[in-house]
Amino acid sequence: MIQKALTIAGSDCGGGAGIQADLKTFQELNVYGMSAITAVTAQNTRGVQGVYPLSADAVIDQLTSIAEDLPPKAIKTGMLVNGDIISHVADFVRLHSWKKLVVDPVMIAKGGASLLERESVNALINELIPLAFVVTPNIPEAEALTGIDILNDVDRKKAAEVLFQMGAKHVVIKGGHQSHAQFVQATDILFDGKRFYDFSSPRVFTPHTHGTGCTFSAVITSQLAKGHTVYDSVHTAKQFITAAISDSLGIGSEHGPTNHWAYHAGMNV
């Protein structure tokens, strides 16, 4: 039986992140992918040149069309742009009792451009994270959400506990932003409210990491849609993204995209 996964996120015209990365990932993992677009962006490997949000009504109309005919098994959110869209999406998730929700709290693009209005962080904390089956911040996002300066693994575990207390059922804090000089391994942690799990791989030194967060959370969403556990889903996500970074496409002049087909090309480690 074909399972369906939905991404609620922005469009990246350069194809490396956003719904484009999510749909590529869904396809690679044999789930039927659908999307509700929150904003159109003009961006490439050099940065984000423009962000053009849709209205909250336009987002909800997309979600309604999907829910009425193509209900998803798992859902992920990415770039939600502003508090109005966050609130409407949260209400819709509650209304339709969507349980397998993966929240990727996209805030800042690889080049440093803001992808979430500052006043919207409270809406993310108060309305969406409590609905999350899995939340997947990187270290800067975890710091912004919890107010904790993450300097080491102890701090990261404290932040994971705070995010769990906010209502997320499972917390994954990615380790890609740890100091390269200090950490030769890239280690992601998973917290389920009782214990921590580590997922490590050798750090790959490359500028071609555009869309890694989107791709990572899309793998988790795909695997959850197929009925896998959170632990197994994160394990696959770690393998998938390590392969995608290791086997670089080498396109673009700055922060290039990852290779979404590397995992099935024998590069998974």
Instruction: Name residue, tokens 């039927």.
Output: 32
158 is catalytic: no
Distance separating alpha carbons of residues 172 and 35, to the nearest angstrom: 23
DSSP 239: H
Q: Is 265 helix (H, G, I), strand (E, B) or coil?
A: helix
187 is catalytic: no
Distance separating alpha carbons of residues 159 and 84, to the nearest angstrom: 26
Partnered with residue 187 across adjacent β-strands are: 200
DSSP 119: G
Q: Give backbone dihedrals phi and psi of 9, rounded to 5 degrees, phi first.
A: -165, 180
Query: What's the full length of the chain, in residues?
Result: 269
Catalytic option among 213, 221, 236, 256: 213
Catalytic option among 214, 221, 226, 258: 214
Catalytic option among 174, 175, 238, 256: 174
- Report which residue type is found at 108: I
Contact status, residue 252 vs residue 231, Cβ threshold 8 Å: no
13 is catalytic: no
Q: Give backbone dihedrals phi and psi of 116, rounded to 5 degrees, phi first.
A: -140, 125
Which residues, at least 6 apart from 41, have a Cβ–Cβ distance to it below 8 Å?
A: 10, 11, 12, 13, 18, 48, 50, 51, 52, 79
Catalytic option among 83, 211, 226, 258: 211
* Residue among 18, 10, 13 at smallest CA distance from 213: 18
Q: Which residues are catalytic?
A: 174, 209, 211-214
